Amino acid sequence: MAEPISGATPLEGYGKRILMVIGSPKTISLCHALGDAYAQGARSQGHVVRVLKLEELEFNPTLHNGYESSQTLEHDLLEAQREIHWAQHLVFVYPVWWGGLPSLLSGFFERVFLPGFAFKAHGRHHPSNELLKGRTAEMLVTLDTPSRYFRWVFKAPAHRQIRHAILEFCGIKVTRLTEFSPVRTSTEEQRQQWIHQAEGLGKR
């Protein structure tokens, strides 16, 4: 029998280590359904999936003084850093609100992706600055705005922020971004198709 990947247990599985971050502040949402489906698909292929639901974590999402002074990390954020170090592949599932990331997800990045953990120095995008390299990531994103309008008129600010300014800056290679839109005018049949699509993404 194959040995489990380092950091995982036999009860979890023997495949790729995947950490999923649900970035919606809602307790019940399409994002949660998409995340559940993705995890089900990944686990069916033998991958190990752990899930962080940000709305369940206890932490202050406000970075009060920037990075000029330290702000004590809550227990849940320390655990989140350990899970990120454990993971080989990160999956972020979140809605786009006002063209950007939800404040809870932004606050998570600001509090967790700290100098000395995610990168060495500010303002320098260089391989020597990347402390989380060797990992990959993908995003499952819900929008009320039609995808083409979001990309061609608004220039997709949320996508550019998370891909370039956050993940790639820290050395994480983005392999895929999947949009599910427009949500507000979608039918139940369409949403079920999206959930089935998310399960398929987890199997790849």
How do residues 24-40 score in pLDDT, each as one tens digit?
A: 999 999 999 999 999 99
- For 188, the token pair is 């139940």
Q: 150, exposed or middle or buried, with CB in 10 Å at 0-12, 13-18, 19+? A: buried
Residue-level pLDDT at 154: 84
pTM of the model: 0.91
Domain 17-58+72-203 fold:
Rossmann fold (3.40.50)
**Cβ within 8 Å of residue 86, ≥6 positions away:** 7, 17, 19, 50
Render pLDDT for 115-174 as a digit per residue (tens, 0 to 9): 999 999 766 678 888 999 999 999 999 999 988 888 888 889 999 999 999 999 999 999
- The domain locations on the chain are 17-58+72-203
Q: Are the C-beta atoms of 89 and 136 separated by less than 8 Å?
A: yes
Can you tell me the distance from the alpha carbon of 101 to that of 95, in angstroms, rounded to the nearest whole number? 7
Q: Give ∠ CA 110-116-119 in degrees, rounded to 5.
A: 70
